[in-house]
Every structure is written in structure tokens, then in C-alpha cells.
Amino acid sequence: MLPYGRQSIAESDIEAVAEVLRGDWLTTGPAVGRFEAELARWTGGVPCVSVTSGTAALHVAYVAAEVRAGDEVVTSPLTFVATAAAAALLGARVVFADVQPDTGNLDPDAVAALVTPRTRVVTAVDYAGHPADYDELRAVADQAGAVLMADSAHSIGAAYKDRPVGALADLTTFSFFPTKTVTTAEGGAVAAADPERFRRAARFRNHGLVREPAEQRDPDVGGWHQEVHEFGLNYRLPDVLCALGVSQLRRLERFRERRSELVARYNALLRGVPGLTLPAQRAYVRPSWHLYPVRVRDGRRREVYERMRAAGIGVQVNYLPAYWHPVFEDLGYRRGLCPRAEAYYAEELSLPLFPDLTDAQQDRVAETLAAVLR
């Protein structure tokens, strides 16, 4: 089965991990700082806190934004459920706003119609690696007095109007799952320009521990002393995985370029295939394509999915609208809430896309898909 996504591991990655295994640090050591510094090179210098997963990054970012019970978080339903679940776990009411019909990204006008005095955070999702419309979303968030957050699990290395992802929102989260552009096996990060939000994020990922004597309530106990002022969790990304991340980040531009080449080839190979809509791209955006999401029209998505899988091509569907999950249905959310997101989901099919995909494999995908549709 040709997968829809997979990691790209080189000997340099293996050697980077082996070097840590031969050293003194496996958990929080020097590789963590190197990884966070290397990541900040891609966020325009915005400092980053590494964590154990993209989901952990969302949880940490919502804590850094001081989301509490009774707050509202406006976000897209066209995302993996964690974008909404992490806010709900903090007691927030998740408000789902509809998406743009071509990109699948959060529609700023839909957000503007839904913000209230209780809106604490507006969370955009860079669907498929195409950045959302951040200038318009910033205007909406600022008018509402809300924090603007970017779920950029798909879009590391992308840019919007010549500004890098990581520097577009107040808080940005990344994921380093194996199918993503850069991997640490499991892992994530939060970028935060505001020093106080960065401090909250860094503390929360380490149990909330306060080690700086100047900030402790009882600083004269001894050099071993540490305190917890607010609860946190252990979301620390270990040295061995950060070493892999540093090695991967040094190849990020090559990964991004190869994905862009493959997207251009798909566009050429599939242009004109009946019953198929190809992904959109704004002129002012440089995507970092994580997915190649086509739209299969005429109600044939399931048929095409099953026939492609039967042919050994691992297509995928991204995503079930978040509020369709039973956990949200049980909270009172109903289908029909975001018609454009639901229409997008009903047709969406992700084709294989990863840097090691060969031209011959891609030709096979395109030829098989065209044959099925014709």
C-alpha cells in the first residue's frame, strides 16, 4: 500500500539520534535548546517551547492564552478534533465558524458573525499547509479583544504575505507527527512572541515548576527548592527526539520544495480530469503543502476512496467535521452548523504526498484516479 504520507529519514537523522543515545542526556538536555533555537529560525525569531505532541501544543497554547471555563474559542470544524478538544478540556465553549469553500480555511466573515464578549481565542487552522487569511482574522480578533491563535500543524515553513508562519498570530502551534513535513516521531511546539505567554507555556509543559528564586514565595530553603504556583503537566519533549528534530529542520527547505514540486506535478497531471476539483492557492501565500486535497464531485468520493485503496493507493479523508464526533453531538452540537465545511468534507480526498514519493509513483496515483473517474 502506497501511504498518503510518511516520514523521510536520512542517515544524518539516525546519526543525530545515536549521538544523543551515546551521551549523558536522554530527557531535557542541550538538544532541547538547539531544537527550539532552530525552530525559531523558521518563525521569524519568535521563541518556541517544544512539547510532546501537536495536541499537547494546543493544550499548552490555550493555557498560555488563559482560556478558562466559560470562555469561548472560535475555530474551524475542518480540522483534527484536537484543535477543539484541547479548548473544551479547559472548560471553554467551542464555537465552530464556517470555512472558505475553496481553501477550506477559516472564513473571517463567519468568525466576525460569531464573536461575543466571551470570545477568548480565535483559532485558525492552516488546512493542508495553506496559511489562513491572517490579516482579516487579526482585525476580527483585535476588535473582539481576543487572542489570535494559529494551528499550524500542517504549515511549518509556509509564508503569508512574505511573513513566516509562527509570526502571524499571538500563539502558533506545530505538530511533528511522522506524516508532517518535519518529524520528531511524536512532538509539537508553541511559538509565542509575548514574554508572559511564553513564560506560561514553558512552565505549564514542566509541571508549573518555578525555579527562579526571585519568583518563589519561599526562596531561602536551599538550592534544591522549587515550587508550583499553578498546575502544569509533563509535556517535555526529550533530547533524543529533539536531536531528530534539529536534523529534520535543517532539511525543511528541501522537504518544502519537493512537496511543492509534487503539487505542481499533480496539478498538471490531473487538470481536466472530469468530476475533480484541485486545491486552491492564494497568490499572496507560499504554502508548505502537507496534504494534496482534491474534491471528488457527484457523490462519488466513497467509491473513489474504496477503489483507490483496492488498487494499493493509500488515499485518506481529512477531516470529519469536528462537531460530528459523538463527543460534540452529546454536548448538543448538530449537523448543518457549518454548511461549507460539511460540503468540503463530503468531497475531500487526500492523495499521497511526501518528499520520497517518486515521479513514477505519483504518475501511478494520477493515472489510477483518472481511470476511476472516467
Domains in the chain, please, with CATH?
A: 11-246 (3.40.640.10), 251-373 (3.90.1150.10)
pLDDT in tens, 30-61: 999 999 999 999 999 999 999 999 999 999 99
Taking phi first (over 0 means left), then psi (-120 to 50 degrees means alpha), and beta for anything else, what does residue 272 get?
left
Beta-strand (E) ranges in the chain? 48-51, 72-75, 93-96, 119-125, 147-151, 159-160, 163-164, 171-175, 188-192, 209-210, 227-228, 276-277, 285-286, 292-296, 348-351
Mean pLDDT by 10 residues, the chain (374 residues): 96 98 93 98 98 98 98 98 98 98 98 98 98 98 98 98 98 98 98 98 97 94 94 98 98 98 98 97 98 98 98 98 98 98 98 98 98 95
CA distance 263 to 353: 8
pLDDT in tens, 290-302: 999 999 999 999 9
Beta bridge partners of 123: 75, 149
pLDDT of residue 232: 97
Considering the candidates 130, 154, 180, 295, report the single residue annotated as catalytic.
180
Nine-digit cell string for 89: 478540556
CA distance 9 to 219: 46
CA distance 134 to 219: 43
Helix 195-204 with 54-64: angle, nearest 10 deg = 130
The answer to whether 180 is a known catalytic residue is yes
